[in-house]
Amino acid sequence: MTPTTSPRRGRPGDDRGASFTQYGGVVLLVAAVLAGVTAVGIPGRVADMCATAFCRITGGEDCGEAGDGGRTLAEEEEARRPDDPPAPTPEPPRPPIEKPGCADPDAEWTEGLHAHNDYENGKPLEDALGHGATSVEADIWPGDGGDLDLKHDEDDPVQGTLRSTYVEGLKERAEENGGEVYPGRDEPFQLVVEIKGQESEADKRRMYDRALEQIEDLPPDVHVVFSGGRPSDDYVLKDKPDNVSFDIAPVNGCELPPKVNIDSPEYDREYAENFTMFNAEWGKGHCGDQGNNKIDDREQGELNRIVDQAHRSGLKVRFWGGPDDQYRDSPVNGRFIPCHGRLLPGRQECEGEARRDAWLAQQEAGVDFINTNHLGNGERWVRSCGTET
């Protein structure tokens, strides 16, 4: 009888021989599959996974994890993420200013009429309100007994005080009208205050603090904008009253300072919220006219651009120093000298149609305040939407 025997398990060498044969077949199969995947255009992610599997079968030492160049799945996921979206445009601290249209000719107020150096008019504040001005300007100097005198230059005669002329005058006006300077107007009346003649920081601080004391009981319908001559930003911004803000002058000719320019990477919203008006000199090679009392297309385009940029940054716009058709001899109680004959040759105010051209250019750009010494001219211009002077 032939004895029954169990299947031979074989020696280790025999097992190895059989496994190698099988292994080689698998390798050929995987290679064929990989070639097919590549040939038919399977997405790279799938092809990468197949390549990684093949690498492992053939004993590669660093096959990664189904990624490109040995990257891990987490690294691949990070690499596939889209670029971070651009930072959103910052919002100004106040809503963007809309370009003003024509003023309501029948309103009690003349929207956008600014009484430049109003204290030089025959009847300060009273004349401005009589013509419907929505903004007046007061230059202040230190006076006796703590008063703040109104005048332009040190040797000019005093035309009243900040307190008696403007604070008391506006309080009385508001009391007569239920707390408003112009009943029914949505915006507050603007009082622009410029500190004059103070050279040192200490003197500017004393003047500024004194002015704050004198305006603290103004009616809520009055907003005060401190203009030139004020102390440093570090001083005035640290404890600003709610009814106070500041204007800001251009840099580099006629550019918004970067910290208040919403288009600048240096824009600082916290800083910008303290400023409400872009206040620039007209002409002289800076804003608007470049020196010949005419506005060409390039100058108009630049003016349009800077006004639009200021508006989007939440700032209203005013230009000073432009032609005004008549020259006011300020020390003589607001007397106007007509611009005809040979009285004042060469003065910018007396260059024919220069004022009309300047105001038309500002109107097209959307400037918010028509700056004038001559309230009658300004009121007619604004109420007629630039058709009457």
Q: What is the pLDDT of residues 144-172, one digit of tens each?
A: 999 999 999 999 999 999 999 999 999 99
Question: Tell me, what's the pLDDT at 113?
Answer: 98
Q: Give this prediction's pTM.
A: 0.75
- Residue at 51 is within a domain: no
| C-beta separation of 379 from 110 below 8 A | yes
- Residue at 250 is within a domain: yes
Nearest C-alpha neighbor of 189 from the set 167, 208, 209, 210 = 167
- Residue at 134 is within a domain: yes
Least confident of 68-82, 108-122, 163-177, 191-205: 68-82
Confidence of residue 282 (pLDDT cuts 50, 70, 90): very high
Mean pLDDT, the chain, integer: 82
Please count the structural domains in the chain.
Answer: 1
What would the mean pLDDT of 118-125 be, rounded to a whole number? 94
Look at phi and psi of residue 194 and say left if phi exceeds 0, alpha if psi is from -120 to 50, else beta.
beta
Assess whether pLDDT exceeds 60 at residue 374.
yes
What would the mean pLDDT of 205-230 be, rounded to a whole number? 97
- Residue at 106 is within a domain: no
| C-beta separation of 167 from 175 below 8 A | no
- Residue at 80 is within a domain: no
256: containing domain: 113-383
Question: Tell me, what's the pLDDT at 327?
Answer: 59
- Residue at 36 is within a domain: no
- Residue at 77 is within a domain: no
Question: Tell me, what's the pLDDT at 90?
Answer: 79
Looking up tokens 């003065």 gives: 347
The CATH number covering residue 225 comes to: 3.20.20.190
In sequence order, the 6+-apart residues with CB closer than 8 A to the CB of 251 are 257
Question: Tell me, what's the pLDDT at 23?
Answer: 46
Nearest C-alpha neighbor of 56 from the set 70, 76, 37, 75 = 70
- Residue at 145 is within a domain: yes
Beta bridge pairs of residue 145: none
